[in-house]
Amino acid sequence: MTSAPATARILVPRRTATVEVAARAALEMTASCFVWLERSDDGIVICLEERAAGLETDLEARFGEHLDRISTLARVERQTRPLRSAIMARALGPRPDPRQQPQVPELDPETEAEIEKLLAEIESDDWLDDAGEIAKTWEERFGKGPVEDGSEGGRS
């Protein structure tokens, strides 16, 4: 004797989940069940019936798990929507015109004064210890150039 496929009718109250969340949770059940959706004054009714007997042991519990997971995903999706929209708008917005100069942000007076002060320190201090005298020219280091014919040296 074969048992009949399990069936269930589950009312999801309107204030518990939206139609979209309920539909997505119901969609998760379609692998093992035949699903039908009905609307009532209190919410949405999920009708489930096993495709074959014995595939799902507890249709209500399984649907509840899916509804919980989809509700959490929907909540995270709703909370991060402004951020994702901003990222998408930034990524997909109008392309910058290469002829336009990049906009240099204006600095406040305090920051500008600080930068001027740092630049003055850099220019005034002998902070670069040129031990190898690489900043000096050949003439400064060795006097007259090594080649008499005016060339800078090198192979001929």
Partner 1 sequence: MDDVDWVDFSELTGCGGCPNLRLEMSHLGTAPDGSIRLVADRRLFARSLVRHAAATVVEQCHVHLDLDDEGAVVVTLTALVGDDDAGLRAAAGHFGNLLVAQLASSKLDAQTLTARNLIVARALDGALPRATGPEAE
User: How far out from the chain centre does Cα 44 lie?
Assistant: 34
- Cβ at position 54, least distance to partner 1 in Å: 16
Tokens of 31: 């692998």
- 88 near partner 1, judged by CB under 8 A: yes
Q: Where do the DSSP E strands lie in the chain?
A: 7-13, 33-39, 43-50
Selected binder of partner 1 within 1, 2, 3, 49 (CB under 8 A): 49
**Six-digit token string for 68:** 């919980």
Cβ count within 10 A of residue 48: 23
Q: Does 66 help bind partner 1 (rule: CB under 8 A)?
A: no
Task: Give the three-class secondary structure for 123.
Answer: helix
Select the residue interacting with partner 1 from 53, 55, 68, 115 (CB under 8 A): 68
List interacting residues with partner 1 (CB under 8 A).
7-13, 16-17, 19-20, 23-24, 26-27, 30, 34-39, 44, 47, 49, 51, 60-61, 63-64, 67-68, 71, 75, 88-89, 92-95, 99
